[in-house]
Structure 1
């Protein structure tokens, strides 16, 4: 089967032409996506014959961790609020590691809630910054 090179090119172009703010938003979206996949992998549905997929959960938790580490690296430390964001990222990384060790979907749900709030806040910041630029 041939991979969809058109989609890969589109995705690459989207990343290469995105503003720094849009890249941060993409990171949040990716972290949310992978956390959702990990949660689903930990759900067992006996009626459908689906068992927990520990490996899939682990892989997607690790992807979320890498994204949060990238968000940490992107912080502009000259602003005091960066330390607040860093503290949240440290907390989320700790919770992700706990969720991975225990294969705990409840912890992942907590992380997901924080990620969604942060993404939504970032969207609002971008919207307001865009209005100021006009």
Structure 2
């Protein structure tokens, strides 16, 4: 598959995804960028570390902005998003892999929970369980 074909596939995936699937994509992207930032720390690559952490922070900010503040769970989720963002900042400023790991662990928990939500949603909608 050529790079252009891959990009077309990626664009199509985003354009046809449900809001739930887009949220899952954001979580997965954030996890990927945190892992890349930790690798950049290991390699001593400050520029890449900064770039990947900023990308992860952008995703967390997007999740914060789009969080339905009227939902009861929002009062529990927002402080966790704040904590993840803080740890990403600490990871960047202090070259701190432990802070990045804490952020990653929380985002992985969010992602795994969200996968289960999608699975249950599909089960209700289609009467069957499908893997997310």
Instruction: Provide TM-score, normalisation by structure 1.
Output: 0.89
Deviation for aligned residue 1:125: 1.0
2:89 to 70, 84, 97: 97
- Which stretches of structure 1, 4 residues or longer, exceed 2 Å deviation after superposition? none
The structure with the larger Rg is 1
Which is bigger in relative contact order (C-alpha 8 A, separation at least 6)?
1
Look up the SS of the partner of 1:78 in the other structure: coil
Partner Cα distance (1:128, 1:96) in 2: 31
Q: Deviations over 1:12-62 (max 9, x none)?
A: 00000000000000000000000000000111xxxxxxx410110010000
Whole-angstrom distance in 1 between the partners of 2:58 and 2:4: 25
Unaligned runs of 5+ in 2: 128-132
How many Å separate the matches in 2 of 1:83 and 1:77? 7
Q: Deviations over 1:83-108 (max 9, x none)?
A: 21111111111111111110111111
Match of 2:47 in 1: 55
**Superposition CA RMSD, Å:** 1.2
Is the Cα contact below 8 Å between 2:34 and 2:100 reproduced in 1?
Answer: yes
Unaligned runs of 5+ in 1: 44-50
Instruction: Find the aligned partners of 2:53 and 2:23 in 1 and give their Cα distance.
Output: 19
- The equivalent of 1:110 in structure 2 is 102
